[in-house]
Structure 1
């Protein structure tokens, strides 16, 4: 998201930060609003039409959502429709990110920020590592409610409720595959907690000392606290591959062997 849409999205995130009430419920209601906007393109177009008076759009949002949602949620929605969006779909995308941000805030307020973030990543990897489960939650021919319920049945007792809600939202796959959407959510969660998300691929699970050393190196390199998301991948053979944003540092033995093979092949 860029330009005017990014600026409007940031204003919506700031509105979420300003809410003093039940932010977990705020997250749930914002995602419900996203469902409404996705199902009603005409409403989305009206609420993002730059030629329509801002107050009129805000009053329309209050009329549509005010009877169902809390005053806090309606306030965030009014902020959203008061912004300028490059495309109608950007409004729904921005509100989805705001819903995830509300869940992060709820976990932070409850002192569960680290458990939330780690649990979200590890549960996501568990889903992706189970061929049948991954296929089931990615099956767009199945009702979204059924996919969400499946995750609740499998993971409900393994993660905090807010992390489960984020995982369930990833099954909607609004902006890509379940895997890509979840990857984006993990990055957003780290950002909202003031950290960089670093995905680490290694042949084995790193112990606490190894994680601390690697996190320290990355923190010095990037000048920010780092959340390590470790993926165990036997194909790595040795060493680690680290991805931070668009930057990849590949120090794996498998890559070195492949480079040597290519060199020998000329």
Structure 2
């Protein structure tokens, strides 16, 4: 079974339990904290996913790290360790966030621009795409000077490409096709 499928199954189970207990936001914050800690401490992530490290040691470290977390979050993370699924923690967190966002009517948008968006521009983009998607948008801005200008918006599996680079590429392709004819 692929790690993405495993991560989604655990995330769905945790999501349903958190929803029943009214802990959606708290569990999401706790998972994001764990994910950030693993992202900022590659040595810890490497140690945690190493097959020769004893499960008991991994659980002890996790229990120390998760002292301030809900029992629900701690138990699921321990379950992942006991079942040898430590490597899916990041995918698990992303899957949980996606489920929580869907429940709240929120969509994550990655907006690529040639320069950093101002708050007003981000709000304007969010408002325009919120109407189109029927959901509130959370925007993450990525700066990529190679797109020259315009904007590329990715919401889930949808891509809206209004970059000047794309327009120039399409124009170049049309010119080549007209020369071939």
TM-score (norm 2): 0.58
Cα distance, 1:27–1:41 mapped onto 2, change above 3 Å: farther
Kindly indicate whether the alpha-carbon contact (under 8 Å) linking 1:240 and 1:252 is maintained by their aligned counterparts in 2. yes
Cα distance, 1:225–1:191 mapped onto 2, change above 3 Å: farther
Kindly indicate whether the alpha-carbon contact (under 8 Å) linking 2:80 and 2:86 is maintained by their aligned counterparts in 1. no
Kindly indicate whether the alpha-carbon contact (under 8 Å) linking 2:109 and 2:137 is maintained by their aligned counterparts in 1. yes
Kindly indicate whether the alpha-carbon contact (under 8 Å) linking 1:34 and 1:96 is maintained by their aligned counterparts in 2. no
Secondary structure in structure 1 of the residue aligned to 2:128 = helix
Q: Which residue of 2 aligns with 1:75?
A: 75
Q: Which of 216, 234, 241 lines up with 2:152 in the alignment?
A: 241
Cα distance, 1:206–1:190 mapped onto 2, change above 3 Å: farther
- Paired with 2:148 and 2:126, the residues of 1 have a C-alpha distance of 21
1:227-238 equivalences in 2 (<5 Å) = 227-238=138-149
Alignment of 1:95 onto 2:89 = yes
CA offsets 1:25-68 (integer angstroms, 9 cap, x no match)? 99559959865551126867xxxxxxxxxxxxxxxx6x862587
Cα distance, 1:209–1:191 mapped onto 2, change above 3 Å: farther
Q: Cα RMSD over matched residues? A: 4.4
Secondary structure in structure 2 of the residue aligned to 1:197 = strand
Secondary structure in structure 1 of the residue aligned to 2:117 = coil
Gaps of 5+ in 1: 45-60, 83-87, 101-184
Larger strand proportion, structure 1 or 2?
A: 2
Q: Which residue of 1 aligns with 2:49?
A: 38
TM-score (norm 1): 0.43
Alignment of 1:65 onto 2:65 = no
Gaps of 5+ in 2: none
Structure scoring higher RCO (CA < 8 A, sep ≥ 6) equals 2
